[in-house]
Amino acid sequence: MSLDPALTAWSEIPSAYPHALSEPEKLLAAYFKSSTVGLSILDAELRYLAVNQTLAEINGLPAVQHLGKTIGEILGPVAGTIEPALESILGTGEPVLNLEFSGKLPTRNEVGHWIIHLLPIKNAHEKVERIGVVVIEISEQRRLEKSVHDLTSQLRKEMARLQMLLEVSSILSADWNVLHVFRNISARIRRVLLQEYAGLAIQDSLTGALVLETVDFPLGKGFLSARPVIGMNTPGGEVLRQRAPMIFSREQLQTYDAEITRQTLDEGMQSLCCVPLLRPQGTVGILSLASTRSDAFQLDDLSLLNQVASQLAVAIENQRAAEEIARLKQHLEEEKKFLEGEIHAGGKFSEIVGESAALAEVLAKVATVAPSDATVLILGETGTGKELIARAIHRMSGRSQRNFIKVNCAAIPTGLLESELFGHEKGAFTGAVSQKIGRMELANGGTLFLDEVGEIPLELQPKLLRVLQDQEFERLGSTRTIRVNVRIVAATNRDLVRSVADRHFRADLYYRLNVFPVFVPPLRERREDIPLLVRHFVRKFSARMQRNIENVPTEAMEALTAWSWPGNVRELENLIERSMILSEKSFLRVPLKELFIGAPAAISPDNSFSRTLENAEREHILRVLRETGGVLSGPDGAAHRLALKRTTLQSKMRRLKITRRDL
């Protein structure tokens, strides 16, 4: 009789009781030689009755050393994982399948993973006397799964970081102003690093001060102050010195005795990460992230934040370059605006008309002082041409190729004069939405003409005095000192000596302005220049109005020369322009009587002038009557040519005793 193959298999398996094998065990016998499946038989006391070679290798002990020992003695603490299932089988007789467990066997240095099937082996009385254990090791599979999981997680992490960098780049491409978009950038970083606080400190390009310009701290308690200057004894200062990113724990933060660090700790921050914003020319700022978690930032986060910081640094540099271009453009526009107002005529005194001795004396003084850089104070009544004298000084000086900038101190409201002269920074006052370059700065290297300098308010005079003495000032709202090389030419029609005595003008400023005084005489003191001025203005307005005026009546010229001209050259110019509008054909019609209107008593015409004016008017009417053949009415009549009503002309003729015989 031949042996059962299953029993033959069992006979090759180490067994404490080979003769005790039952029919259910024979079903497992064929697998005992498997190289991938571990098999064993346990008794009711959970002792090993039989073990195949595969399980012995899994457990790390020879098969013979298993026999008669409990699973606790072989498996150690891992046995506690499966003992409840074994006890359940002994009680219920039901198999337990696909039980997965993990643990560290006494013979191994790393955690293993297994799937087991527990099969009850019953006797003839259906009582469970032994348990068959099928063990399949899945440690390598789990390691592969973990590797795949870790790789997938790392890939997701890298994808999230790349997406964040792409979004930051997109935000900065749309708007270079980092302060405007910093909160959006911080929100993108928060998706990856989960920080509670983000701050951006920018280093001033001139002073080197590191100023916290903006923060994103939605859950802040309010301990952090606004726009603090970050000192060198701070984490930010340390990063600035090292020019490398750094991570600080709460314990490290406590070692810095700085107000901003204490405020950060008061906010409950447990960790801080600071990254410098580097450019080839130096550090432009620092990006800081803080968290209430102690291990919020890892070393591999620094590489990511370096890339963010690099984009921020480029954006800040681009913004500064754009601001500088805008400033230079504004400067050029301001220069153009002022330069377009200059008169580019030939000759040293081409704009100044006159041959009188009084005017020649003034021009001699101008020629003397112009080559120097001395401050000039031009005095004279309103309308005498003080600005023309100032321009002549500039043209004859070594600064003639640079700017001539004019400021009318009386035409600018007191509250805006400081900004107009010295400029202001953005936010210096309500309405200062951008930086403004002052006219003092525009005149750098050239000449600044302060017209009506006597109208400068007292509170602004010390700042002007400082420019005269030290050639330096600060813009409104700024602490940065700006040095300039400006020649000051001032003009006024006020008695500054009386203003100093009345404490309306500083004495020290007066003395600094009055280095070289030039007095421009009024027109009544140089009457011989009036005919020249009349002809000059007639030519000027003829070209502008496209008129052809060839004749100025002798009587009108005599009347103009005899008038005292309280408004000086400006009054004469305005009268000639009005005369050009009223004139027809080729002769100039001068409305002489308008000179009386509004004239002060002190300068009212005397009887001789009245007689001269009356004679001039009589001769003018007679000339027109003769040209019209004595016709008063109609489109070609004298009344129409004189721009008078016929009845008004007849009244004037009676008053001036003009009759038909006079024609």
For 74-110, what is each residue's pLDDT tens digit? 999 999 999 999 999 998 989 999 999 899 999 999 9
Q: Which residue has the tokens 């600060």?
A: 474
pLDDT tier, 375 (very low <50, low <70, confident <90, very high otherwise)? very high
Residue 557 belongs to a domain: yes
Taking Cα atoms as reference points, which of 437, 358, 447 lies closest to residue 398?
Answer: 447
DSSP states along 285-314: EEEEEEESSTT---HHHHHHHHHHHHHHHH
User: What pLDDT is stored for residue 612 in this prediction?
Assistant: 53
Cα dihedral sign for 224, 227, 232, 237?
positive
Reply yes or no on whether the pLDDT at 623 is more than 50: yes
Query: What are the pLDDT digits (tens) for 205-255?
Result: 777 788 888 899 988 877 676 567 788 888 988 998 889 999 999 999 999
Mutual angle of helices 530-545 and 568-582, in 10-degree steps: 50
Are residues 56 and 165 both part of a single domain?
A: no
Are residues 448 and 483 both part of a single domain?
A: yes
User: What pLDDT is stored for residue 135 in this prediction?
Assistant: 93
- Kind and range of the H or E element at 425? none
First vs last C-alpha separation in the chain: 177
Query: What are the pLDDT digits (tens) for 171-205?
Result: 988 887 888 999 999 999 999 989 999 999 988 87
pLDDT tier, 335 (very low <50, low <70, confident <90, very high otherwise)? low
User: What pLDDT is stored for residue 489 in this prediction?
Assistant: 95
Q: If you count DSSP H runs as helices and E runs as strands, how many of each does the chain have, helices first?
A: 24, 20
User: What pLDDT is stored for residue 634 in this prediction?
Assistant: 79
The average pLDDT across 632-648 equals: 78
Are residues 11 and 127 both part of a single domain?
A: yes
For 23-37, 180-194, 445-459, 641-655, which range has the lowest pLDDT when averaged over its residues?
23-37
Residue 333 belongs to a domain: no
Reply yes or no on whether the pLDDT at 161 is more than 90: no
User: What pLDDT is stored for residue 182 in this prediction?
Assistant: 92
pLDDT tier, 332 (very low <50, low <70, confident <90, very high otherwise)? confident
- Rounded CA gap, 499 and 511, in Å? 13
The average pLDDT across 271-280 equals: 92
Q: Which of 320, 352, 385 is the last residue of a domain?
A: 320
User: What pLDDT is stored for residue 28 in this prediction?
Assistant: 60
DSSP states along 27-67: HHHTTTT-SS-EEEEEETT-BEEEE-HHHHHHHTS-GGGTB
Are residues 498 and 550 both part of a single domain?
A: no
Reply yes or no on whether the pLDDT at 604 is more than 70: no
Mean pLDDT computed over every residue of the chain: 84
Q: Which of 462, 487, 521 is the last residue of a domain?
A: 521
The average pLDDT across 517-538 equals: 91
Query: What are the pLDDT digits (tens) for 438-450?
Result: 899 999 999 999 9
Q: What percent of the chain has pLDDT over 90?
A: 41
The average pLDDT across 160-168 equals: 89
User: What pLDDT is stored for residue 603 in this prediction?
Assistant: 43
Residue 640 belongs to a domain: yes
Structure tokens at 456: 């400068």
For 148-157, 464-473, 483-492, which range has the lowest pLDDT when averaged over its residues?
148-157
Reply yes or no on whether the pLDDT at 431 is more than 70: yes
CA–CA distance from 319 to each of 6, 98, 209, 312, 427 (Å)? Answer: 86, 65, 18, 10, 18
Residue 478 belongs to a domain: yes
pLDDT tier, 605 (very low <50, low <70, confident <90, very high otherwise)? very low
User: What pLDDT is stored for residue 602 in this prediction?
Assistant: 40
- Rounded CA gap, 656 and 124, in Å? 163
Reply yes or no on whether the pLDDT at 573 is more than 60: yes
Reply yes or no on whether the pLDDT at 536 is more than 80: yes
Are residues 229 and 278 both part of a single domain?
A: yes
Reply yes or no on whether the pLDDT at 26 is more than 60: no
Residue 143 belongs to a domain: no
pLDDT tier, 113 (very low <50, low <70, confident <90, very high otherwise)? very high
Taking Cα atoms as reference points, which of 461, 460, 482, 486 lies closest to residue 473?
Answer: 482
Are residues 385 and 257 both part of a single domain?
A: no
User: What pLDDT is stored for residue 252 in this prediction?
Assistant: 92
Residue 338 belongs to a domain: no
Between 589 and 349, residue with greater pLDDT: 589
Residue 327 belongs to a domain: no
Instruction: Give the residues across from 476 on adjacent strands.
Output: 424
Are residues 309 and 349 both part of a single domain?
A: no
Identify the DSSP state of 4.
P
Query: Any idea of the CA torsion for 247, 252, 256, 260, to the nearest 10 degrees?
Result: 50
363: containing domain: 343-521
The average pLDDT across 413-441 equals: 84
Q: What's 620's domain CATH number?
A: 1.10.8.60
Contact by Cβ (8 Å): 390, 489: yes
Are residues 351 and 474 both part of a single domain?
A: yes
Are residues 266 and 378 both part of a single domain?
A: no
Q: What percent of the chain has pLDDT over 70?
A: 88
Reply yes or no on whether the pLDDT at 641 is more than 60: yes
Per the structure, how many domains does the chain have?
4
CA–CA distance from 349 to each of 367, 477, 523 (Å)? Answer: 10, 41, 17
Reply yes or no on whether the pLDDT at 15 is more than 50: no
- Rounded CA gap, 179 and 227, in Å? 12
Instruction: Give the residues across from 279 on adjacent strands.
Output: 282
Are residues 396 and 516 both part of a single domain?
A: yes
User: What pLDDT is stored for residue 371 in this prediction?
Assistant: 93
For 229-233, 421-425, 531-535, which range has the lowest pLDDT when averaged over its residues?
229-233
Residue 446 belongs to a domain: yes
User: What pLDDT is stored for residue 75 in this prediction?
Assistant: 93
Reply yes or no on whether the pLDDT at 115 is more than 60: yes
Are residues 358 and 219 both part of a single domain?
A: no
Q: What's 112's domain CATH number?
A: 3.30.450.20
DSSP states along 111-133: -EEEEEEEEEEE-TTS-EEEEEE
Are residues 405 and 478 both part of a single domain?
A: yes
Burial class (CB in 10 A: 0-12, 13-18, 19+), 306: middle
Structure tokens at 388: 């023309």
Q: Which of 320, 351, 372 is the last residue of a domain?
A: 320
User: What pLDDT is stored for residue 347 in this prediction?
Assistant: 53
Reply yes or no on whether the pLDDT at 17 is more than 80: no
